[in-house]
Chain A
């Protein structure tokens, strides 16, 4: 347990250079795209108004000075104020972060809930029609652009079958309307993951099922279900968990598209709009939050490894 604590603390310390590096890169890249004042004031503002706005926003300072000011504020818990809306960035993020987390976690639950059983069945029934169908469906989902998939689901389940709302978040999550609003976006975000995890679970399970300990377990007369689920799957899940943790940033990236298609009020859309509007404080705030979330997810994955396989040593 002590080693585990030390490991977590080490990882949290490692977080500092990661976050610093990422924020420096993003800050400089986003500032290289131009200044936000012209977009803010519109093409009809005079040059004097533009200059005045630049001064008032501190945009007349060199970029590295602005970065240090920003960093100093962040260290005091202040993510700044949106250039576009004049609202605190933290408030804007908190208003929407929950919605994105709901969406991504639901997508992950769908992906894991479908992919792992499908992968296991596919491996156990290797080269049967079940395996072939499962592999075909996996390739089908993984090849389908998410944007298009979302539109197709809207057409089928929203417009024609009228089972789910076409867009938006139509109520609190724990209400019928809230759940109905969540289904299509979560499925759209989750299905490409299903394909990936199914294939990975299948190949990993096939490896495990060929291991000596499985042969021994079967030889001892242990029930096949126990051999597959309790002995093999546990070990087969390690690479799957690695992949899941690595795909979390992708989920946030994918949520930008899904939130756009389904008008889901999350931080993905806020990020995309803020980039287009050059609302740097908001972009930086969201990037910071996403980096922290991704690092935390990776940390959790490391901890789960040791739970699944006690041979994994935190020192190594």
Chain B
């Protein structure tokens, strides 16, 4: 065949293919979804849906549609039964016995005490977040299974907060057989499959694209506070991975996605003006706060830290960095976190530039005019502030604080970096100020991670020293271990007071839950937001394809 003919045939082929493509494109409806499905646009792909390994919130949320722990927390943060039916404490809370509900896993096998024992063993031996229940920290030393539906955990020490940990999604119950297979290396939990008792079954994970969950028809043990004991209202719940924020927004506006719980603050206003889209915002657990390194340089001086606390205008941060979609906070934990103390409002330092300047003068840091950087013994009051480069609200807060501290004669070098570098520098103490982010729903543990001196070099960025640190540690240990509720509550309040008064931690804004949904695609969002945490269980049971 002459070359010209070959080329002509090729062109004909391309033309035909293009025509077919266009015909396909233009001939179909706009909506790619089908059936009774809720499509939830999430900002990033879960890395690992193994409850015993993951440390990330996005992973935990996804896996809680499928697997369940023994208990859950209702909207007053009280433990209520989920896989367990009931429980009974032993003497001095050194043991606890659970009676199990008569449930089956998605694979059809019955839930037994052996499954519970294997799951908790896997959790305590593997999870980086298992800080309270492992034997070495005073937790489970022995497990007894008097019957298939009864299990007793014996602790090395009193574990008064154990119920909260048995309500943590990381302690999810899975079949013993699956855990044995994982232990032998024959399966990879959370990658190859996930088997639980949750309202949805794990169906398919299309790498980088979506995770499809299918209705578990036998589910009927939803807790009272959710409002629907099961089964779920949709046949499928699809978690679609949509990393770009504006694409998520467009997807919800257009109806390609039913809902997103990952709505950036900057899009809230425009979506609120879209009549077809509902938007809702609530304070979340976890705070945006600035830690002042009490171990290094000028921020080791309490007067300097207090001056910084007075100089920070949280309202401005909420208005600018959070686009007005946020809540200024006074304490290191928020009202959506267990153990929150309202009295923290009375001890928090309020925005007052004159008082801030006075503290710096008292500490010997002076200047001759207000715009000038203060000095002491020839050294300039210049601070390094680090924060995350990939989060608008954190990056912007850094710049805003830089300007605000400039008003009292403090020069701030803002250095933004990706999360790994921030962790590295945070661990090494290579900063004066760090605008940090953490999320945890359980106040005592969260404060322990953030403030206990044993966590200097990992999650404690305030790095308090001396007597203040000792007082903080003592209260944290009481808050975690005391048998008396009152004693624990007083201690957790003290922790919040010390954190704020020491000014090693300057609370800025509450992290927020932000949801947007297409009104013609899904109903039931109001029921989800009744619980302060918008829990996955409630999303699963209440969201209803419209």
What count of chain B residues pass the 8 Å CB interface test?
58
Q: Is A265's CB within 8 Å of the partner chain B?
A: yes
Interface pair A165/B256, CB less than 8 Å apart: yes
How far, in angstroms, from A42 to B55 measured CA to CA in the complex? 6
Asked whether any CB of chain B lies closer than 8 Å to the CB of A78, the reply is no
- Are A176 and B24 interface neighbours, CB within 8 A? yes
* Residue B355 at the chain A interface, CB threshold 8 Å: no
Contacts of A162 in B (CB 8 A): 30, 254
* B251 touching A43, Cβ below 8 Å: no
B191 near A166 (CB under 8 angstroms)?
Answer: no
For window 85-119 of A, CB contacts with B under 8 Å fall at 85-87, 92, 95-96, 99, 109, 113
* Residues of chain A lying within 8 A (CB to CB) of residue B454: 46
B466 close to chain A: CB less than 8 A: no
Closest to B39 in A: A168
**Is there a chain B Cβ closer than 8 Å to A11's Cβ?**
no
Does any Cβ of A come within 8 Å of B269's Cβ?
A: no
Q: Which residue of B lies closest to A40 (CB)?
A: B55
Q: Is A47 an interface residue (CB 8 A)?
A: yes
B457–A47 touching, CB < 8 Å: yes
Bound CA–CA A46/B134 (angstroms): 14
B363 to chain A minimum Cβ distance, whole angstroms, is 30
Which of A44, A179, A263, A266 interacts with B128 by CB under 8 Å? A44
Query: B243, A163: Cβ atoms under 8 Å?
Result: no
Known: A154-B247, A170-B32. A85 touches B47 (CB 8 A): yes
Q: A39-B420, A44-B438, A170-B32 are in contact. Are A179 and B21 (CB under 8 A)?
A: yes
Alpha-carbon distance between A266 and B206 when the two chains are bound, in angstroms:
11
Q: Which of A30-38, A194-202, A242-250, A295-303 contacts B (4 or more CB under 8 A)?
A: A30-38
Residues in A neighbouring B455, C-beta threshold 8 A: 44, 46
Q: Which residues on B sit within 8 Å (CB–CB) of A38?
A: 420, 423-424, 427
Question: Are the CB atoms of B25 and A164 closer together than 8 Å?
Answer: yes
Taking CB atoms, residues of chain B closer than 8 Å to A264 are: 208
Q: CA–CA, A230 to B5, complex, Å?
A: 11
Query: Is B188 close to A, CB under 8 A?
Result: yes
User: Which single member of A33, A180, A265 contacts B420 (CB below 8 Å)?
Assistant: A33
Query: Which residue of chain A lies nearest to B418 when distances are taken between CB atoms in the complex?
Result: A276
Q: Which of B18, B21, B191, B210 is close to A85, meaning CB atoms less than 8 Å apart?
A: B191
Q: In whole angstroms, how far apart are the Cα atoms of A50 and B28 in the complex?
A: 52
A39 touches B419 (CB 8 A): yes
Shortest beta-carbon distance from B143 to chain A in Å: 23
* CB atoms of B241 and A265 under 8 A apart: yes
Alpha-carbon gap, A158 to B426, bound state (A)? 43
How many angstroms from the CA of A216 to the CA of B418 in the assembled complex? 63
Among candidates A35, A87, A170, residue contacting B188 with C-beta atoms closer than 8 Å = A87
Q: Which residue in A36, A46, A49, A265 is a CB contact (below 8 Å) of B207?
A: A265
Contact residues in B for A109 (Cβ distance below 8 Å): 14
Binary interface encoding of chain B residues 232-267 relative to chain A, with 1 for a CB under 8 A from any of its CBs, else 0? 000000001111101100110110110000000000
Contact B207 A263 (CB under 8 A): no
Total count of chain A residues near the partner, CB < 8 A: 61
Check A86–B48 contact: CB distance below 8 A. Answer: yes
Interface centre among B209, B243, B459 (most CB of A within 10 A): B209
Contact A263 B244 (CB under 8 A): yes
Query: A44-B128, A109-B14 given as contacts; is B21 within 8 A of A39 (CB)?
Result: no
CA A42 – CA B422 in complex, angstroms? 12
- A84 adjacent to chain B (CB < 8 Å): yes
Complex Cα distance, B206 from A180, in Å, reads: 19
Inter-chain CA distance A151–B32, complex, in Å, is 19
**A159 touches B (CB below 8 Å):** yes
The reply on B157 being an interface residue by CB < 8 A is no
Beta-carbon contacts of B182-214 to A below 8 Å, as 1s and 0s? 000000100100000000000000111110000
Contact A45 B55 (CB under 8 A): yes
Docked-complex contact A262 and B32, CB < 8 angstroms: no
- Please state if B207 and A92 are interface contacts (CB–CB under 8 Å): yes
Query: Which residues does chain B contribute within 8 Å of A155, judged by CB atoms?
Result: 250
> Which residues of chain B come closer than 8 Å to A84, judged between CB atoms?
47-48
Is residue B1 within 8 Å, beta carbon to beta carbon, of the partner chain?
Answer: no
Q: Which of A225-243 contact B (CB under 8 A)?
A: 230
* Contacting residues of chain A (5-59) with chain B, CB-CB under 8 angstroms: 33-36, 38-47, 49-50
A44 in contact with B458 (CB, 8 Å) = yes
Contact indicator B209/A262 (Cβ below 8 Å): no
CA distance A154 to B208 in the complex (A): 20
Q: What chain A residues lie within 8 Å of B207 (beta carbons)?
A: 92, 95-96, 265, 270
Q: Are B25 and A44 in contact (CB under 8 A)?
A: no
Measured CB to CB, the residues of A under 8 A from B are: 33-36, 38-47, 49-50, 84-87, 92, 95-96, 99, 109, 113, 151, 154-155, 158-159, 162-171, 176-177, 179-181, 183, 230, 260-266, 269-270, 273, 276-278
Interchain residue pairs A-B with the least CB separation, the first 8: A265-B208, A162-B30, A42-B55, A170-B32, A265-B209, A95-B207, A263-B242, A38-B423
Identify 28 residue pairs between A and B in the complex whose beta-carbon atoms are under 8 Å apart, listed by A's number. Answer: A38-B420, A38-B423, A39-B419, A40-B55, A41-B55, A42-B55, A42-B128, A43-B449, A44-B128, A44-B458, A85-B48, A96-B207, A99-B208, A163-B25, A165-B32, A166-B256, A167-B244, A167-B250, A167-B256, A167-B257, A168-B209, A171-B32, A176-B25, A176-B27, A180-B28, A260-B244, A263-B244, A277-B47
- Using a CB–CB cutoff of 8 Å, the interface residues on chain B facing chain A are 4, 14, 18, 21, 24-28, 30, 32, 41, 44-45, 47-48, 55-56, 128-129, 188, 191, 206-210, 240-244, 246-247, 250-251, 253-254, 256-257, 390, 418-421, 423-424, 426-427, 436, 438, 440, 449, 454-455, 457-459
Task: List 14 other contacts, CB 8 Å, given A33-B421, A263-B240.
Answer: A35-B424, A39-B420, A44-B455, A44-B458, A46-B458, A92-B207, A162-B254, A169-B209, A180-B32, A181-B32, A263-B209, A263-B243, A263-B247, A265-B207
